Amino acid sequence: MTTWFITGASRGFGVEIARQALDRGDDVVATARDPKTVEKALPGYADRLLAVALDVNDEAAARRAVDAAVDRFGTIDVLVNNAGRGLVGAIEETSDAEARAVFDTNLFGLLAVTRAVLPVMRRQRSGRIVNLSSIGGIRSWPGWGMYAATKFAVEAVTEAMSQELAPLGIQAIAIEPGPFRTDFLDSTSLHRTEQVIDDYAASSGRMRSWSDETNHAQEGDPVKAATAILTIVDTPQMPVRLALGGSCVTDIEAKLREVAADLNKWRELSVSTDFATTG
C-alpha cells in the first residue's frame, strides 16, 4: 500500500490521480483550498482518503497538512505537486503582481510543500516526488512566457533534486503534459493579464483566442494521463522527466532539433570564447 500526498486534488490531474490511487487500495491525502471540494469529487473513500485544507503559498499550512498526513497514515510515499496557476499575456503586458502570483503558486508553493514533506521521506530513506511541469517547461510561445518561466524553473528544480535526493533513496520526476482536457483553460485556473497592448494582437492576442477556442477540446485524456503517472511512479527507477501527449512529444522533438541546429551553426563562435590552450 502506498500513501500519496496530492496538492490541487479537487479537479484535473490531481483528482484523477487520487481516484485511481484510491481505487487500487492506496491511501491518499488530497489537499485543496476547500477540502469539501475534494470530498465531493471523491465520495465513498472515507477510510483511505484524508481531505486537507491547503493553500500551497502558506508554508505553515503545508507543515500542518504533512503532520495530519503522518498522524493518519504514518508515512508519505509519493508527493504530487499538482496545484498550479496559468497566465496568458505578453511579457510587456504582465504586471509585477501578475508575474509574482503565478510564480508564487507554480514554483514557491511547490517548494514550500516539498520542504514540508522531505523530512518525512529523508527519515524513511524512500519516497517519490512528482512535480507537474508542462510542455511549457521545455519550450515557450507568445503569450505564455511568464507561465513557461515558472515551468522552466520546475524543470531545473526537479533535475537538481533528482541528483540531490538519489543517495537518500528518494526519486524526483517532472511530468510534462501537453494540452489535456482539464479545467486549465477555465477562468478559474487560467488568468489573463489585465493590460492588453494592441501591438501584440497577432502574437499573445492570438493565444487568448486559442485558449477560448480550445477549452475542453484539448486532445489529451486526463484519465489516461493519471494512469501513466501511476505507472511511472511504480517503476523501480523513474526517469527525470516524462512527456505526456502526442503533441508534447512532437514539440519536444522539434525543440531538440532547433537547439542542435543552433549549436552546430554557431559552434565555432561558441568555443572561441575559451582561453587559448598552450603546450
Q: Are 87 and 146 in contact (CB under 8 A)?
A: yes
**Among this protein's residues, is 147 annotated catalytic?**
yes
Given 10, 151, 200, 204, which residue is catalytic?
Answer: 151
Given 10, 45, 134, 147, which residue is catalytic?
Answer: 147
Given 10, 45, 133, 211, which residue is catalytic?
Answer: 133
**Among this protein's residues, is 151 annotated catalytic?**
yes
**Among this protein's residues, is 272 annotated catalytic?**
no
Hey, which residues are catalytic here? 133, 147, 151
